């Protein structure tokens, strides 16, 4: 079954079996995100998370880049029209990245090309990032005089380490795919002709694993990384898993030497 949004230039959602794909869809502008796109992404995230048939989300872009980040014109316009201390377009972008990180189901960013500005954090908010071997990344905040939002900085630090976070934010240097892979920004790279095969391989693995167990462990891992672990909730999920239907099916499948059917 497949379904899509029908708003021109808005992010496009496709659902095929247990896999949802969101495609950023402003290729003429390197998929630069507009305020309306942020609202649409939040709506699509809610829709995907509410569908129990969806087991994995793939986020990608149309054309030669994944995304050029948030529209700088919109940031400037919002900043000059709001009183000091009011919410900003930057914080609206942070809400989207945080929501993506906290999605219950596993997420893969399919980096079809370069990733720039705030969209480097959008990709980092995904659980896995598989990029074409010609992709690149660039975080220009220091050149623009823009202080990035705090949870984006935390994602950089917890996922890439302090030294790499400083290198990327403070020098504003561009990194190529091989270096993105070395520092752990990319999970894997592939030639353009093999990118979909590499993404499909990981998506199929994730879609075939126990969804409740993955949901709980993803939450615990994210909470550990942020220093915010809800120990009681994590303990309860572990105890519940010992009595749940997933472990019964997993043990039966192992004994019968067949793939589990969750």
Tell me the per-residue pLDDT of 164-212, one tens digit each, with 9 for 90 and over. 999 999 999 999 999 999 999 999 999 999 999 999 999 999 999 999 9
Report the number of distinct structural domains present in the chain: 2
Last residue of a domain, one of 190, 207, 224: 207
Q: How many residues does the chain have?
A: 262
- For 225, the domain range is 209-255
For helices 211-226 and 245-255, angle between their N-to-C axes, nearest 10 degrees = 110
Quick check: is 17 in a domain? yes
Tell me the per-residue pLDDT of 24-82, one tens digit each, with 9 for 90 and over. 999 999 999 999 999 999 999 999 999 999 999 999 999 999 999 998 776 545 544 44
Non-local CB neighbours of 72 within 8 Å, separated by 6+ positions: 144
Whole-angstrom Cα distance, residue 177 to residue 188? 9
Q: Are the CB atoms for 207 and 55 separated by under 8 Å?
A: yes
Quick check: is 71 in a domain? yes
Looking at the structure, do residues 250 and 194 belong to the same domain, yes or no? no
pTM for this structure?
Answer: 0.90
Residue 77 pLDDT = 55
Looking at the structure, do residues 141 and 184 belong to the same domain, yes or no? yes
From start to end of 8-135, where are the E strands?
A: 12-16, 19-24, 56-61, 65-67, 107-111, 114-116, 128-132
pLDDT range class, residue 251, cuts 50, 70, 90: very high
Quick check: is 3 in a domain? no
* More confident: 232 or 3: 232
Residue 91 pLDDT = 84
Looking at the structure, do residues 131 and 233 belong to the same domain, yes or no? no
Residue 75 pLDDT = 56
Looking at the structure, do residues 124 and 251 belong to the same domain, yes or no? no
Residue 8 pLDDT = 53
Quick check: is 99 in a domain? yes
**CATH code at 195?**
3.90.226.10
Looking at the structure, do residues 131 and 228 belong to the same domain, yes or no? no
Whole-angstrom Cα distance, residue 115 to residue 138? 7
pLDDT range class, residue 9, cuts 50, 70, 90: confident
Quick check: is 83 in a domain? yes
Looking at the structure, do residues 191 and 239 belong to the same domain, yes or no? no
Tell me the per-residue pLDDT of 95-142, one tens digit each, with 9 for 90 and over. 999 999 999 999 999 999 999 999 999 999 999 999 999 999 999 999
Non-local CB neighbours of 45 within 8 Å, separated by 6+ positions: 99, 100, 103
Average pLDDT on 218-223 reads 97
Quick check: is 6 in a domain? no
Looking at the structure, do residues 97 and 27 belong to the same domain, yes or no? yes
């Amino acid at each position: 079954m497949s379904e899509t949004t029908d708003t021109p230039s808005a992010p496009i959602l496709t659902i095929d079996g247990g896999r949802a794909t969101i495609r950023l869809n402003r290729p003429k502008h390197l998929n630069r995100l507009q305020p309306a796109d942020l609202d649409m992404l939040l709506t699509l995230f809610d829709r995907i998370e509410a569908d129990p048939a969806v087991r994995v989300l793939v986020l990608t872009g149309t054309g030669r880049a994944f995304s050029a980040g948030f529209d700088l014109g919109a940031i400037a316009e919002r900043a000059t029209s709001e009183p000091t201390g009011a919410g900003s377009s930057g914080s609206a972008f942070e809400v989207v990245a945080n929501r993506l990180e906290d999605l219950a189901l596993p997420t893969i960013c399919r980096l079809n090309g370069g990733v720039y500005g705030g969209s480097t954090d959008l990709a980092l908010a995904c659980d896995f990032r598989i990029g074409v071997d010609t992709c690149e990344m660039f975080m220009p905040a220091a050149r623009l005089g823009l202080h990035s939002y705090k949870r984006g900085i935390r994602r950089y630090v917890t996922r890439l380490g302090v030294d790499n976070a400083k290198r990327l934010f403070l020098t504003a240097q561009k990194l190529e795919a091989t270096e993105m892979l070395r520092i752990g920004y990319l999970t894997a790279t592939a030639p353009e002709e093999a990118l979909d095969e590499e993404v499909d391989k990981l998506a199929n693995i994730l879609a075939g694993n126990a969804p409740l167990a993955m949901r709980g462990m993803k939450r615990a891992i994210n909470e550990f990384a942020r220093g915010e672990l809800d120990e009681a909730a994590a303990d309860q999920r572990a105890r519940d898993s010992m009595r749940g239907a997933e472990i019964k099916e997993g043990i039966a499948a192992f004994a019968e030497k067949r793939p589990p059917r969750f």
